[in-house]
Every structure is written in C-alpha cells, then in structure tokens.
Amino acid sequence: MKKTIFLIAALVGLSQMVFSQCFPNRHSTNFYDGWVSCEAAPSPNPARPVSHFIMYDFGKVYKLGQMTIWNSNDPAHLDWGMRT
C-alpha cells in the first residue's frame, strides 16, 4: 500500500515538473504575473536619479554575459517599462 501511494505521489509530482514549463525560454504575457515597485528610491548608481529600479545581490561581482528584460505587456501601459 505504501509503495502504491509513493508511486502515485511521485507520478503527480513529476507530471507537475514536466508540464510546468510548456514553453521553455518564454515568459508569461499575463499582466498580473509582472510587478511594479511601490515607490521610487535612491538609485545605487549615483549617475541615475531617484527612480524605480531592480537590484540583484549575488554575493559578489560577476561578469554579465547576457541579460534579457521584458517591458510591461499591458496595452493600456505601453509607456511603462525600461528606459535608457
């Protein structure tokens, strides 16, 4: 009985892993899957003004080979997103 329960649990768990990423290397286009920061804050880059930003802390400095950033996908907010 324990073996059967374990097998069922394993199959359910594996099926979730297999089907959770139907489209590898793609992001969700659902507006509710994104986020907007709550308030502007001083930028860690002194050359930039107070604004909204994303800061990652990986514990040490790494070389950045490639970075992909998606802008907001909501047609009502096409002016939102990354600016240079």
At 60 the pLDDT is 93
Residue 34 and residue 81 in contact, taking contact as beta carbons nearer than 8 Å: no
For the record, the structure tokens of 7 come out as: 């097998």
Contact criterion met (CB below 8 Å) for 53 and 44: yes
Point out the residues of the chain with pLDDT beneath 70: 10-37, 70-75, 81-84
Q: Can you give the pLDDT at residue 36?
A: 64
Angle at CA 66, nearest 5°, toward 60 and 72?
Answer: 105
pLDDT of residue 59: 92
Position 4, amino acid: T
Q: What is the pLDDT, as a whole number, of residue 58?
A: 86
pTM, two decimal places: 0.38
